[in-house]
A = this chain, B = another copy of it.
Amino acid sequence: MDVDSLPEWLGHQPLIETVQLQLTPPHLGDNTADLDRLLRVLRQQGYQDIQVHPLRIGQLAEQIRQSRYQVSAVLGFTPCHWELLDVKAGTGPVAPLAFAIDLGSSRLAFYLLDLDQGRIIAQESVANPQIPHGEDILSRINYARDAKARQNLQGLLIDSFNDTMGRMLAELGLAAADVYAVATAGNTTMSHFLLGLDASGICREPYIPVANQLPWLHAQDLGLQVFDRALVYVFPNVGSYFGGDLIAGILASGMHRSGEINILVDVGTNAEVVVGNRDWLIACAGAAGPALEGGVVERGMMANPGAIDRVRIDPQSLEPHFSVLGGKKPLGICGSGLIDLVAEMFGAGILTIQGKINTGLESPRIVTTADGPAYVVAFANETDDGQDLQVSEIDIGILLKSKAAMYTILNVITRKVGVGFGDLKHFYVAGSFGNHIDPAMAVRIGMMPDLPLAIYQGLGNTAGRGAAMVLLDRSLIGEIERICRQITYVELNVNMELMNEFRGALFLPHTDPSLFPSVNIPERAYAKGG
């Protein structure tokens, strides 16, 4: 993500403003107090309601006096008022910095911004340090039942923030004291962990978080090693399963400003979906199964070096061609690779419409293992660990459940608002997954509806981009509030109708192939597998 990926409509009204001032020094005819003197001039310049932290006024007044009334005032915006954060001597330029942070459950992504220039000047991502306490978020919630564990999880995040931010600043020779704002977007559970809140209500009926609207913080409240009164904005949640990362996604997509109807999908263990336009937004989330996360499918892994992310299969030879992230020997297969693989196995007739492996085919790649039939993507001599890299029918079954859930959710939510798939102008896919996934493959397996491919658009790290956007344009704070008020969150109650739809969607591409006219179903796929 760089500045080019920020939307064109983004204004430049940063969350932090610096104002260079030459104040008239006090004299007998004008002996206003030091701080009031500064605030008076700032008010004249349109900064109406300005607050100062009570324990900071002595220091700020001292800086005004010592700089002989030639100062740069650093102001931070909150919806309620401006906060006079800092006073610097002299009227030279001050370049306020800020960090936008994607608080992902797998990875934390950091973007360092120069607010005056309105540019992202560095970025870095690290693994979420909480992973040792639970690969998936549910086991972390389980771990964090008591206050001490919560404190531990919070501490791990803060340490990681401080390490990463410190390293990024040091590399550019920039000072932590010039970082005056931090914005972060994560799912509801991650936001709870960051604030040290009890997340246990999130995963049990009736699924209630501690808070959706989260208050503004200052760096010192969390122990962040930047300017100690730096403003910290945490994106609000809409519910337990619709978090700030999705709100940031809506913001980044701009769908809340569009007259056309668009859809935004975030695919993971939970599939989260929003449909709408500038007038209405409807959202839901549902369990999509963990097929696309690392660690569930036998050779599944996250999109890290060594992961197969693209697969093509020659329908004649049944031989695969694949690319591996990081150019290494393959070690596993990531989400987009798995979708490709299943789509190509189906396209080559290796998989039946029921998702079974066509064991009647002649190929050294179709083997029988202890887990039943499997397809060998890479033989032992080609892989990093010297083991065959194969995907079994069981693995494929897991993926089919995920894709069926995804399609069912998309169907239910659009039907709920009386919108056909054909009415959608854009189909946004959030997350780095959105950039990797090949829409043609996702359509072929019936995971996503059969729409013209140009409608599909991967948005990349929308949580990080949304956070960066708020830092660069404070008017978005109000927009976020409006988004939260506007969203109607629909609870997906599992009923018979839904179960029937889900069962139909388990097929490749669907029990009703007329829903996927563009998908060419090979003769062999009608064979009885196994």
- A residues adjacent to B (C-beta < 8 A): 26-36, 39, 49, 51-55, 57-58, 61-62, 65, 80-81, 195-198, 201, 205-217, 221, 237, 239-240, 491, 493
Contact = CB atoms under 8 A, between A and B. Distances in A.
Nearest to A38: B211
Contact of A57 (B62, B205, B211): B211
A208 B32 contact: yes
Contacts of A209: 33-34
Nearest to A493: B28
Given A61-B197, A216-B54, A80 B221 contact: no
Contacts of A29: 491
Given A33-B237, A49-B80, A237-B33, A210 B61 contact: yes
A222 B184 CA distance: 31
A217 B52 CA distance: 10
Contact of A39 (B53, B208, B213): B213
A188 to B, nearest CB: 9
A205 B28 CA distance: 7
Contacts of A34: 201, 208-211
Given A28-B207, A54-B221, 11 more contacts: A26-B208, A30-B206, A32-B239, A34-B209, A35-B212, A49-B80, A54-B215, A57-B197, A58-B195, A61-B210, A65-B201
Contacts of A62: 198
A52 B209 CA distance: 16
Given A39-B213, A49-B80, A213-B39, A208 B31 contact: yes
A64 to B, nearest CB: 9
Contact of A33 (B35, B210, B216, B217): B210
A36 B213 contact: yes
Given A32-B212, A34-B208, A212-B36, A57 B201 contact: no
A28 to B, nearest CB: 5
A214 B80 CA distance: 18
Give the 3 A-B CB pairs with smallest separation, nearest first: A35-B211, A61-B210, A33-B209
Contact of A58 (B33, B55, B197, B221): B197
A33 B214 CA distance: 11
B196 A58 contact: yes
Residue among A51, A61, A198, A208 with max Cβ neighbours from chain B (10 Å): A208
A367 B124 CA distance: 91
Given A195-B58, A197-B58, A212 B33 contact: yes
Contacts of A33: 208-212, 237, 239
A353 to B, nearest CB: 36
A196 B61 CA distance: 13
Contacts of A80: 49, 51, 80-81
Contacts of A212: 32-33, 35-36
A165 B217 CA distance: 31
A490 to B, nearest CB: 11
B31 A239 contact: yes
A260 B337 CA distance: 85
Given A34-B211, A212-B33, A206 B61 contact: no
A32 B211 CA distance: 8
A281 to B, nearest CB: 17
Given A31-B206, A81-B80, A205-B28, A211 B61 contact: yes
Contacts of A208: 26, 31-34
A210 B61 CA distance: 6
A193 to B, nearest CB: 12
Contacts of A49: 80
Contact of A206 (B28, B39, B491): B28
